[in-house]
Amino acid sequence: MQIHEHTNAQIYATVEAAATIADDWAQSSAQTRAKLLRGLADVLLKNRETLVRLGDEETSLGTARLNGELDRTCFQLHGFAAHVESGQAFVFSDDAAIAGAPPIGRPAMKRVRIPLGPVAMFSASNFPFAFSVLGGDTASALAAGCPVVVKAHPAHPRLSRAVFELAQSVLALQGLSDGLLGMVEGASVDVGVELVRHPDIAAIAFTGSFKGGTALWAQANARPRPIPFYGELGSINPVIAMPSALAAQAEAEALAQTLAASIEFGSGQVCTSPGLVVLFDNADADRFEAALRDALQTKKTHAMLTPAMKRNFDAGVARLVDTPDVQTLLRGDTASDDHAPPRPVLARTTAKHFIAHHILQEEIFGPACLLVRVTSADEIVDVLTAVGGSLTVTLWGAESDSADVRRITRRATQIAGRVLFGGVPTGVAVTGSQQHGGPWPASTQPFTTSVGYAAMDRFLRPVALQSAPAWLEERAGRPC
């Protein structure tokens, strides 16, 4: 696998090309942006077979998964195109002038939103289409009126180049500057650091590891002019099973099968993989635990995205099972082959020990899940408090209102960006109401989302226009 290493000069040239076109793209019409986004979706569809084959060769994710992900990517691009055409990109508030002295009197005031400028987008390893070159971050930034410089992920360099070249062909066909979408490559830390440090980069969108994300976030804040860093860093996505959810054996067994498939999906290499399941300590939980263990034991995983991820998974599992008061329920072959598919891991502990050991609250990126037994609603609240921040929390059996259900729901909303009342957390709908982000350590900006049409808000800054002249008012919120 050949990975190009861009020089500082190449990185700077790519960013400067984006900066040169930034003002023009900020002024572009909704029709121009929508046409580009739809053109990018069309070129992906036309080259599906080649792109999916490349993706499978580099990631081992399988053609079914990659075809679905390509469809999602195209759906996102079309969705943002429609969202821009709806007028939401230029939405503004308008307060008419009122004669007289303050505080009753006031001048005319409009609150508009302007594009930030060039966005650096760090591709994710685990979604080579949907969170990569033409993924949601790129789509939302282009829709908001910002050029994008992609940092390709070294886990799938050939696919990234192929998608980038197709995107460049669309820009040329539509008569748009090739600086509107740039790409840099490199496996070294230096490439990412140089990109973040460039003075013309106005914001960062990052999906990846906690370690890498926090290092780049520090660089963004250390600049002479700090910039927003929208980082998705990791999540253990608790699933809370209330007693009523497991009372019927057939339903509990079905839930165990569904949960096992969610844990195993993509070899556990998804940000919403359920890594923590909270159960009341009773006979129903015993049956559910056995059903989950048996279901996981039959799952056939595939190789992880990179050898480094497999090593990190093995190290995380070792830390988990070696932690005091943790019982291992399922653990496959512990061979050190970095290319071997990971085996699902299931372990158990109590609420007391989960809360006491911070290491149990950390994400293990891969098919590993920790069961936590509790004896009361108070312990559930305490477990969620110890988690601190998560992309999701799932509540099973919360259909009936009660003081305990309300307390648990309230705490779930306090620590997660998305709370599910059924199902499993894997699978993130692209919609206007989606919130994919959560309190630290799930993300660096819990007030924003990286999935859904509100993702555009990350790249638009509010500006108040006071007593604006007529020519500016006529632009109806579009940047001049």
Residue numbers annotated as active site: 232, 271
CA distances from 199 to 194, 226, 335, 462 (A): 10, 9, 46, 21
Does 341 sit behind a cis peptide bond, omega within 30 degrees of 0 on the bond before it?
no
228/202 Cα distance (integer angstroms): 7
Q: How many Cα atoms within 13 Å fall on the side-chain side of residue 208? A: 24
Q: Which two tokens stand for residue 192?
A: 């990412």
